Amino acid sequence: MKGKIGFEETFAIKETLEFSRAFAGESGNWGNFSRQILDLDEERLEIMNKNGIEYALLSLNSPGVQAILNPDKAMRIAKKANDTLAYAISKYPQHYGGMATLPLHNPDMASEELIRCVKELGFKGIMVNGFQQIVHPDHVKFYDFPEYRSFWATVSELEVPFYLHPRMPIPSRSQNYDGHPWLMSAPWGFGVETSIHSLRLCGSGLFDDYPNLRICLGHLGETIPFALNRLEERMLFSPRGYRGKRPIGDYFRDHFHLTCSGNFNDAAFRCTLNVIDHDKIYFSTDYPFETMEDAASWFDNTKVISNETREKIGRTHAINLFKLDLE
Angle formed at CA 9 by CA 206 and CA 282, multiple of 5 degrees: 60
State how far the alpha carbon of 198 is from the alpha carbons of 52, 201, 230, in Å. 31, 5, 16
AA identity, residue 243: R
Q: Is 208 a catalytic residue?
A: no
Nearest to 273, CA basis, from 284, 262, 261, 282 = 282
For residues 190 and 198, is the Cβ–Cβ distance under 8 A?
A: no
End-to-end CA separation in angstroms for the chain: 15
Q: Quickly count: other Cβ atoms within 10 Å of residue 254's Cβ.
A: 15
- What single-letter DSSP state applies at residue 236? T
Bridge partners of 6? 56
β-strand pairing of 136-141 with 132-134: antiparallel
Listed in sequence order, the residues at least 6 apart from 323 whose beta carbon sits closer than 8 Å to its beta carbon are 124
The secondary structure element, H or E, covering residue 256 is strand 256-259
Nearest to 114, CA basis, from 135, 100, 104, 127 = 100
State how far the alpha carbon of 148 is from the alpha carbons of 119, 206, 267, in Å. 21, 10, 37
- What single-letter DSSP state applies at residue 162? E
From 39, 279, 286, 300, active-site residue: 286
Catalytic residues: 286
